[in-house]
Structure 1
Amino acid sequence: MTARASGSRPSASRRLRYGPHPDQWGDLHLPGAEPRRGVVVVVHGGYWQDPYTAELVAPVAEDLAQHGFAVWNLEYRRAGRTGAGGAGGWPATFEDIGTGIDHLAELADAHALDMDRVAFLGHSAGGHLAVWAAGRHRLPPDAPGAGPRVSPRGVVSLAGVLDLAAADRLRLGEDAVRNLMGAAPGRSFHLADPVRALPIGTVVHAVHSPADDTIPFALSADYVAAARAAGDPAELHVVTGDHFAVADPEHQAYRTCRELLERMLPGRPVTTP
């Protein structure tokens, strides 16, 4: 069970498509709580691999909606395990993240979404994709995901893979990075790596526990150090718990993440004519 905001009502959720592939969809949660806040794009992890879906962060999406946010829980094409199966990987996964986020601009009028008040949140591999997406405006025009239509006020990375090259050297997830990218480090790695895009001019809140034995804490700490050296207003938030605590609405580590979103997207009362 997820914790509900005091006095809140269950959120309404609709599954909406942003492309023809079966994995090109998002669950749009509209808040049942007041005051209404902005929009949070939630990106799931799972080492970018096919068995893992947006259901991993469904409790996060529901909790945020119950606390007044509109939430776009984004699915995307993922790579198969050890390169077998799966429609994603480079560049399809990155194209989907860009297209899926930009689809919010098409949904805004029909669902009263405030596109001036958007934040991204991603867990683990989803943290990599969320921070990468915040830097899409830095990509060359021919790169997957270039030319964003939707830009965030900030990003909350939950134990994110924020240095793709370092994760590749560490062979995290049994070479999950190489499985995603499908090749040795080169131009594609550079375009896909959040730390290589610095500075992005957007605040990144990296929330990570030193006890995380899945994604090393150093990937967040080193990213924040590099971002600040480049002039970005990045912040490192040290929490307790394991790799999944930051995405567990019952854990204090996750509540730190929600509080960061509340700071970025403070409540705005809904006015009626």
Structure 2
Amino acid sequence: MPPSLRPLLPALLCAGLAHAEPMKLADYLALSGPAPTLTLAYGKAPSQYAELFRPSGPGPFPVAVLVHGGCWTRQYGGIVQLRNLAGALQGHGIAVWNVEYRRVDEAGGGYPGTYQDLNAALDLLGAQATAQQLDLRRMVAIGHSAGGQLVQWLAGRSRIAASSPLFQSAIVPVSQIISLGGLADLRREQALIKSSCERDLVDLTGLPSAQRPDVFADTNAAELIPNGSHTTLITGELDTVSPPRVAHDYAARARAAGDRAEVIILPGASHYDEVAAGSPSFRLILPAILRALALDEADSLPKRNRID
């Protein structure tokens, strides 16, 4: 936990953060939120689109890019559940770009399609920034579970070799990353990903070839550091899909490489509390998002809660 949050912990615990009933998968699947302001396609496939949640009033607005999890498959929900978090952030004056993408069990998903979808979704965000009054200089990418892997990968795209199908010469840079129960280190966490998601890594990395002998070189976020990013890894104390050890291990590796990384453990929380705006865990997650966007907490309060 960063020093700035340590003084808050006793009050948060007394408020019931550690004693709330941890969410289960069924609770997560029941999550929903408001309808987006706008839905825009970045490709022709049904899953190639993003939802914009634009705050009311004039911009420019800071931006949170949301990337859902679900073990990279369609089985465990995704973009609909993250509307819960999107609506909460919209209420705090933050524009949200909620990204859908082709998953490994969809035509064109997996390697390289899933990663190319993230590239295209960020390109579309860049193209819409002026018209939608979005301030991309104040941007954070937030991913949950498998989405944590994808946003951590986004931070390192500039290090991908030109010979890779995932290479782009011009990218929308993302240097502030929040990974919620992320499974980002594909190489070192193969066994965990297999046990948690029943996922063979070949779906995410593709097969080796003479031109690409190391399948982790362009897919594994941990191979693309240092990249100048600041990663906040937030994990529930009771998360069994991506346990706290995973966050600590990745943060240590990132810091050793020269990047900034910190870990926040959510007391009494599961893998699913991490993305629920109604969960007590949100009291620790929201300040981390505001810090990543260089926002003052009082300035980001919904208008109904402000005392001017």
| Shorter-chain TM-score above 0.5 | yes
1:152 corresponds to which of 174, 187, 191: 174
**1:101 equivalent in structure 2:** 122
Give the residue type in structure 1 aligned to 2:91: Q
Aligned-residue offset at 1:55? 1.1
Change (3 A) 1:33 1:250: farther
Change (3 A) 1:186 1:208: farther
2:85 corresponds to which of 60, 81, 100: 60
Q: Write the mapping of 1:90-169 to structure 2, written as runs, cut at 5 A.
A: 90-143=111-164, 144-169=166-191
**1:247 equivalent in structure 2:** 275
Instruction: Supply the RMSD in Å over aligned alpha carbons.
Output: 2.7
Change (3 A) 1:27 1:145: farther
2:219 is equivalent to residue 195 of structure 1:
no
Q: 1: distance between equivalents of 2:244 and 2:218? A: 23
Change (3 A) 1:128 1:31: same
Aligned-residue offset at 1:187? 2.1
2:38 corresponds to which of 3, 8, 14: 14
Please tell me whether the aligned partners of residues 39 and 71 of structure 1 are also in contact (alpha carbons under 8 angstroms): yes
Q: Between 10-19 and 134-143, report the one with greater CA deviation.
A: 10-19
Please tell me whether the aligned partners of residues 119 and 154 of structure 1 are also in contact (alpha carbons under 8 angstroms): yes
Q: 2: distance between equivalents of 1:104 and 1:35? A: 15
2:56 is equivalent to residue 32 of structure 1:
yes
Change (3 A) 1:217 1:33: farther
User: What do the CA deviations read for 1:25-72 (whole angstroms, capped 9, x no partner)?
Assistant: 000000137996411110000011133431131111111111111100
User: What do the CA deviations read for 1:219-258 (whole angstroms, capped 9, x no partner)?
Assistant: 2111100111111111111112100111011123233222
Please tell me whether the aligned partners of residues 236 and 244 of structure 2 are also in contact (alpha carbons under 8 angstroms): yes
**2:5 equivalent in structure 1:** none
Q: 1: distance between equivalents of 2:227 and 2:282? A: 25
- TM-score w.r.t. length of structure 2: 0.77
Aligned-residue offset at 1:266? 3.5
User: What do the CA deviations read for 1:6-43 (whole angstroms, capped 9, x no partner)?
Assistant: xxxx8862111111221110000001379964111100
Aligned-residue offset at 1:208? 0.9
Please tell me whether the aligned partners of residues 98 and 148 of structure 1 are also in contact (alpha carbons under 8 angstroms): no
- TM-score w.r.t. length of structure 1: 0.86
Aligned-residue offset at 1:148? 4.5
Please tell me whether the aligned partners of residues 212 and 242 of structure 1 are also in contact (alpha carbons under 8 angstroms): yes
**1:264 equivalent in structure 2:** 292
Change (3 A) 1:221 1:27: same
| Paired residues, number | 261
User: What do the CA deviations read for 1:99-121 (whole angstroms, capped 9, x no partner)?
Assistant: 11121111011111112111100
Q: 1: distance between equivalents of 2:36 and 2:47? A: 21
Please tell me whether the aligned partners of residues 127 and 157 of structure 1 are also in contact (alpha carbons under 8 angstroms): yes
Please tell me whether the aligned partners of residues 127 and 158 of structure 1 are also in contact (alpha carbons under 8 angstroms): yes
Q: Write the mapping of 1:39-78 to structure 2, written as runs, cut at 5 A.
A: 39-51=63-75, 52-78=77-103
Please tell me whether the aligned partners of residues 117 and 152 of structure 1 are also in contact (alpha carbons under 8 angstroms): no
Q: 2: distance between equivalents of 1:174 and 1:73? A: 26
Change (3 A) 1:37 1:212: same
Identical-pair percentage: 31
